[in-house]
Structure 1
Amino acid sequence: MPATWRRNAPVSKVRQAELEHLHQSRNEKKGTSGFEAVKLTRADVEWLLESYDNGRGPILDVSSDKRRGLSLAGVVFEGDELSDLPLSRADLRGAVFTKANLRRTQLSEANLQGASFYGCDLKGADLSRATLQDAAFVFRTVLEGARLVDTDLRHVTLDEVNLKYAVLDYANLQDVQLPGALLHGASLRHARLEGANLEGASLARADLRVVSRVVV
């Protein structure tokens, strides 16, 4: 990924010290990140990514970089512009995103267990193989063109979401409730759809090759 994700001037020295203090307060044994209920901005995240792992920076290629990602469990984003950020393998358990712009954000293999997305824009975001147990995408959150390859969506709330042109190949959607879902042009090749409810869903031009049984 090019360095275009860096869009802000570095945060002040005072703010750097605050962020470092929060990062150092994490407790891996208890599973806390130090950022629980803390509101962060894009500039904060850019600095945390750039300084991550003693300055090595973020994970840009999950196929060759086997490190764990940035730990931001419980963090809060409200109306923030977070597009294109490299957050692969980030720990974002319980994070809250409200009306955030996450277009093309890299969230592959991220831990988003219990995370909430309220009215967010994730158009073109990559959530392939992300952990999404008990996550919620609600209030017309946009997942148009998002990549959810090989993702387990069985315990995910998908209410009034836009999944047009999304790539859901090999995803597990068993018993998922998606009545009236917008799946126009979506790719669902090899997806598991046993018991899924797609009644009234828009499936025009969707690729349903080699899928399991669908309830429509």
Structure 2
Amino acid sequence: MRYFSQQKLDQLLAAHAEWLQEPVGEAMSLCNCDLRGMDLRGRSLMRVQLENVVLAGCDLRDCNFFGAMLRKVDLQAADLRKACFASSFCEQIDARDSNWQQADLISAIIKLSDFSHANLAYADLNKTSFESSVLDQAILSYTHTVRFSLSRSSARNAQLDHAMLDFATIYACDLRGANLNAASLRQLKSFEHVAVAGLQAKDVVIEGGRFTGWFDASPEADGSQRHDADWMRQQLTKADL
């Protein structure tokens, strides 16, 4: 693992800023680095490539990671409020206990990542895709999630109240104990193969949408209480499952 002085990091970021003005060659790439304690708030890391980088606990507020590629990046307990990750690609990210309030993740692709206990309240998740990831007990209240995709992922006890999930795709996910109160579920592209025991769904807005496959209401998600799509549609208008 490499370590940088603040001066060296500033030089790298300055060179990257020049590259953004005239992108000849490849974007800045940082691998096997520990950047904890560095001053990064408000910096531009557009299109940067990070692999096996530690940013745990860092102040990344207002940082611009537009179009960046992050693999095996440690963001545990990092402060990412109002950061921009639009059109980024994130794989094997550890974002447990991180703060993404009002962050911009429009069209971001996130795979094999852990966002347990992360705070994404009021974040812009329009066209954002989470695949094979964990969002257990994450806060996604009041998020803008139009055309959002959540597939083969776990969001147990996640807070999705007042989220705008219009045109969303939710496929093969664990939503046991999740809170969808007052969420908007208009014209869902897909809502199928979901574990729903304990799902809270007061005052949800449902308009059209595609409900198919099975819905598992057994507490252990062992398939012992599987129901069809008609049952699921009816249950979304009730308080608890």
Pick the TM interval, shorter chain: 0.7 to 0.9
Query: Separation in 2 of the partners of 1:194 and 1:39?
Result: 42
Larger Rg: 2
Q: 1:42 touches 1:82 (CA, 8 Å); kept in 2?
A: no
1:41-120 equivalence runs, <5 A: 43-44=34-35, 46-49=37-40, 59=61, 69-120=62-113
1:20-59 equivalence runs, <5 A: 20-23=14-17, 38-39=29-30, 43-44=34-35, 46-49=37-40, 59=61
Q: Residue 220 of structure 2 corresponds to which residue in structure 1?
A: none
Query: Separation in 2 of the partners of 1:116 and 1:177?
Result: 14
Give aligned-pair identity as a percent.
19
Higher RCO (CA 8 Å, separation ≥ 6 residues): 1
Note closer, same or farther for the CA distance 1:180–1:76 as it changes in structure 2 (3 Å cut). closer
1:125 to 118, 128, 141: 118
Is there any run of 5+ residues in structure 2 with no aligned partner, and where? 45-58, 212-231, 233-241
Note closer, same or farther for the CA distance 1:77–1:145 as it changes in structure 2 (3 Å cut). same
In the TM superposition, residue 184 of structure 1 has moved relative to its aligned partner by 0.2
Query: Separation in 1 of the partners of 2:33 and 2:139?
Result: 22
- Calculate the TM-score normalised by the size of structure 2: 0.67
Note closer, same or farther for the CA distance 1:198–1:37 as it changes in structure 2 (3 Å cut). farther
Query: Separation in 2 of the partners of 1:153 and 1:159?
Result: 14
Note closer, same or farther for the CA distance 1:179–1:71 as it changes in structure 2 (3 Å cut). closer
Q: 2:148 touches 2:165 (CA, 8 Å); kept in 1?
A: no
Query: Separation in 2 of the partners of 1:42 and 1:85?
Result: 16
Q: Deviations over 1:71-93 (max 9, x none)?
A: 22122221121111101101112
Q: Residue 235 of structure 2 corresponds to which residue in structure 1?
A: none
Query: Separation in 2 of the partners of 1:15 and 1:49?
Result: 9
Q: 2:109 touches 2:130 (CA, 8 Å); kept in 1?
A: yes
The letter for the 2-side match of 1:19 is: L
Q: Residue 141 of structure 2 corresponds to which residue in structure 1?
A: 149
Bigger share in strand:
2
Q: Residue 5 of structure 1 corresponds to which residue in structure 2?
A: none
**Aligned residue-pair number:** 190
Aligned-pair RMSD on alpha carbons? 3.0
Q: 2:180 touches 2:200 (CA, 8 Å); kept in 1?
A: yes
Query: Separation in 1 of the partners of 2:32 and 2:183?
Result: 36
In the TM superposition, residue 42 of structure 1 has moved relative to its aligned partner by 6.8
- Calculate the TM-score normalised by the size of structure 1: 0.74
Query: Separation in 2 of the partners of 1:145 and 1:41?
Result: 30
Is there any run of 5+ residues in structure 1 with no aligned partner, and where? 1-7, 60-68
The letter for the 2-side match of 1:194 is: R
Q: 1:58 touches 1:70 (CA, 8 Å); kept in 2?
A: yes
2:199 to 195, 198, 206: 206
The letter for the 2-side match of 1:165 is: N
In the TM superposition, residue 58 of structure 1 has moved relative to its aligned partner by 5.2
Are 1:175 and 2:153 an aligned pair?
no
